[in-house]
Amino acid sequence: MPDIANILFLDIETVSGKPNFDGLNDDLKALWTIKANQLARGRTEPLTEEEVAESYTEKAGIFAEFGKIVCISVGVVHRDKAEKKLKIRLKSFASENEAELLQGFSQMVFKYYNDSNKFGFCGHNAKEFDIPYICRRLIINRLPLPAPFDLSGKKPWETKHIIDTMDMWSFGDRKNFTSLKLLAAVLGFPSPKDDIDGSQVGRVYWEDKDLRRISFYCEKDVLATTQLYLRYKLMPLLEEDQVVHVDGED
């Protein structure tokens, strides 16, 4: 596992591709109807049109084929030699233009983190959600995959640069799914869910049009993931004065 200063901590926020089901074209409406009925496990009768539309609002953002990324937040840990302690810089790539934010994120990876033998990428459920979602949306937007994210056909030992804090907590239990909020409570570090949660991101984006709020929420998830990683390594947690939120191109 790479040194913590060579790990890019990350999290993404996603929403439905359109504000509501009516915004889809006929093909995607039909395909979401199929998907929605597949998700309604145990139900014997097909979903009504109203239920299909409601399920789109609630669940479409989870699927890269029907959703989109509105924010990718990253955290970089470095050692402050003067103060002799770790610090983290948090930054967000957020935009209504998904291709634009993906391009900005990818350019950073290409420039600074393209060597998977040296650098790692860490997120909570990153292997099952964040990284695959980013890759799928890159392809949909006709953008190249950074080398560390080109994982198709790779063996498990070839993907060790993808570090998943949820996977670390599983200790081999493949049925495990433990939220970041629960681990924060159990392991004693601040919860990232003190403002909005994932189920509210779509509303904040489509109705409130508040990307800044989403970005700050996403950065708190990155910080919590970093704190969780530090807990695993039995290292001191980051204090408030060790956290810097970076705006713009810094």
pLDDT of residue 250: 46
Rounded to whole angstroms, the Cα distance separating 144 from 158 reads: 20
Q: Which amino acid is at 3?
A: D
Rounded to whole angstroms, the Cα distance separating 171 from 152 reads: 25
4-16+72-246 domain in CATH 3.10.180.10?
no
C-alpha distance from residue 157 to each of 8, 116, 139, 173 (Å): 19, 12, 24, 19
pLDDT tens track, the chain, 250 positions: 789 999 999 999 999 999 999 999 999 999 999 999 999 988 889 999 999 999 999 999 999 999 999 999 999 999 988 878 999 999 999 999 999 999 999 999 999 999 999 999 999 999 999 999 999 999 999 999 999 999 988 888 889 999 999 999 999 887 778 999 999 999 999 887 667 777 889 999 999 999 999 999 999 999 999 999 999 999 999 999 999 999 855 4
Q: What is the largest CA-CA distance in the chain?
A: 66
Distance of CA 99 to the CA centre of its chain: 16
Rounded to whole angstroms, the Cα distance separating 46 from 40 reads: 9
pLDDT of residue 149: 95
For residue 96 the two structure tokens come to 């209504």
Domain ranges of the chain: 4-16+72-246, 18-65
* pTM, rounded to two decimals: 0.94
